[in-house]
Structure 1
Amino acid sequence: MSAGGAGAAPAWIGRRVTGDTMLGCGACRRCEHGRQHVCEQRLELGIRGGKAGALAEKVATPARSLHRLPDAVDDAMGALVEPGGNAFRAVQGAGLQPGDRCLVLGPGTIGLLCELFARAAGAEVHLLARDAVSAAFARSLGFDDVWTEERLPALPWDAVIEASNSPLLPARALELVEPGGRVVYIGLAGTPSRIDTRDLALKDVTAVGVLSASPGLAGTIDAYAAGVVDPRPLIAATLTLDDLPAILSGVRPPAAGPGPKFHVAL
């Protein structure tokens, strides 16, 4: 729920909102062209520049970064707008048309949301899961074409979305995609992940990198509000702040579901 500081527009007071986590300086060329998420001087909530994150009692953020949440988007969905925006942009980058075959590498939150948005775009969606447990959860979301590496079928993939943290899968994505297809890189590994640009050029592949949800927030809210994508099955449990230390230390509550996300409700 929003509250205003000095000079804040009254229209924002008391509204349910979500906000961009990338706060550009507002004055540089990148910001002026709508690319504040790659502003060299940007602040990032909870990450960069000493800005408090969303678990703080209050978060100060400029009104220009806010997006209103319609009544059809409840608080749990609102908390998943930011990860959804990353997936929304990744699927946009894949350029999917109805009937295209899309392979998503990585069964985490972003990978699963990519599946949901790709399905909403009319694609035939496949997922490369990490193990039997992650494969089973993906199937519970209604995806039948879920594979582990040893069982991945040799199919032509029109687009591959790399959403893992593996340093090896970016090159694998380029290997798997059809010539003339598209590869989207949204996953980040802890060590350098390398591709051979000869493969990129000789296969005439378009590669797209996605850093943040910023340009996809409005589209994600619209998709949630319309019921085109429902991210709530990804939430394992709803908790309070008092429950959080145990979660962050790796303790999973016995009653938690199999989803990858925990929703903190105040």
Structure 2
Amino acid sequence: MKLLVINPNISDDVTALIEAEALRSASPGTEIVVRTAGYGVEYIETRFESLIAAGAVAEIVAEYTRDGASVDGVVVAAFGDPGMPALKELTDVPVIGITEAALCAAALQGHRFSIIAISDRIRPWYQDCVERFGLGGRLASIRSINEALNGIASVQQDFKATLLALSQQAVTEDGADVVILAGAPLAGLARELRGQIGVPVVDGISAGIRMAEAVVGLDSGPHRTGAFAPPPAKARRGLTGNLEAALTTAQNAAMHDAAHRGTTQPASPAPAN
């Protein structure tokens, strides 16, 4: 199995944290390919920054799937899942965000969960993400660091005691059965803190890798109709070659399957110049 793991922000230091935890979490025989967004911001805190990151992630997904998938699955490795769930429309392989993976893992291990975040600014967006997955009623709290960060790559070292205290408060004061350490900058920290909190501690990167392996292993088939079918064929302008090719591949596959099922799809118009 080969998984493409994408860091949606531009920090190479965070990519190194992602890669280290992904390699620790992957099953024997799983190959991990890690890529960093080609443009965007150092770390994502807001909805608009996530919007920017979504385009960068889509470019990388398209690069690997433009002529048929060269990977078996994709992991979007930033909490908030930039580009999700829309990226599921672009490729036949499973695309898993670490938010959805972490929430699923938490929901399987307890009734109420808390999210520990790296900044106060990020909390409203994370609240939106939980509600989008229909799990707002199971969210015990979102607790966050309320101090300026010295650097995104050193958050774990600089605020380990604070993150531990926030996690413990989520359990004792908020009633959390599971704690999620949110965001790629905290990748790997759950391994250090899990014995000190008293409840299961979920790492988004490890959850993303293991969930992706599981979904790939299910071999459930691609989206061809319904909400996550490829976008309908229509005139396009200004897309990169990778995006143009990936969309064409997805649309051609959908039309082929429709013909096999005896249904019809609109013909592809020539892209506009």
* TM, length-normalised to structure 1: 0.37
**By percentage of residues, which structure has more helix?**
2
- Using CA pairs below 8 Å that are at least 6 residues apart, which structure has the higher relative contact order? 2
**By percentage of residues, which structure has more strand?**
1
